[in-house]
Amino acid sequence: MANRKDFSPTDRTRLKRKSNRGRYDAKTVYDILDAAIFASIGFVIDGQPHLIPTAIWREDVWLYIHGSNGSRLIQHLASGAPAVVSVTHLDGLVLARSAFHGSVNYRSVCLYGEFEKVEAAEEKYRQMQLFYEKLVPGRWQDMRPPTANELAATSVLMIRIEEAVAKIRSGPPIDDEADMLLPHWAGVIPTQQVWGQPQADEKLNPWVVMPDYLARYGAQG
């Protein structure tokens, strides 16, 4: 299925404040989702709101999660209950000349819809492979794959990326003209996620050598 070119704003995704920061094109939404490992998933059970972080991955127009069959999150979402998925990347602290105009640079996505289960065992297996390969390319071939029983104890859910909006803030502070000559430093402190060097399990057999794909992993920015 071809990727969609854009998303039509809905009552839930149309930005009412700072609408100029909204993005509805698929590339922006997909890029933000693909850069994320975790998302927060919101849902309501018996009038009580819940917000649970969980790992995510995307293939085409679908976003995936997985978890134990006994998980309250998985059981509730598998029933087709409404849900919202939220992803945010912090890109920097925006220091303005005034406290009022201090801000942060960020990239975010909110996605609304209903999850459904991936039923076929072969597809669940393939999606778990995609998940691991997103986290650490090359890892799937370097570990024991899930057994039939382990796969049966795991649910994979997917939600169509259809009702979605990205919101982005970038650039320097926006101070009032009257504050521009104040003697206070203004600018941006950028931030980024950096992976450290892999640390071996203390119980690792001494003859096991770190594979090249892991040795390179810590060098990624």
CA distance 78 to 62: 15
3-class secondary structure, 70:
coil
Confidence of residue 173 (pLDDT cuts 50, 70, 90): very high
pLDDT in tens, 53-88: 999 999 999 999 999 999 988 999 999 999 999 999
- 129 near 140, Cβ under 8 Å? yes
pLDDT at 2: 41
| Three-class SS of 153-192 | CEEEEEEECCEEEEEEECCCCCCCHHHCCCCCCCEEEECC
The residue with tokens 């939600």 is 159
- 75 near 50, Cβ under 8 Å? no
The yes-or-no verdict on residue 218 having pLDDT over 80 is: no
2 located within any domain: no
Q: Would the pTM of this model clear 0.85, i.e. be above it?
A: yes
CATH for 65: 2.30.110.10
132 located within any domain: yes
pLDDT at 3: 47
203 located within any domain: no
204 located within any domain: no
**Domain residue limits at 139:** 19-191
Pairing of the two strands 163-169 and 103-117: antiparallel
Q: How many domains does the chain have?
A: 1
4 located within any domain: no
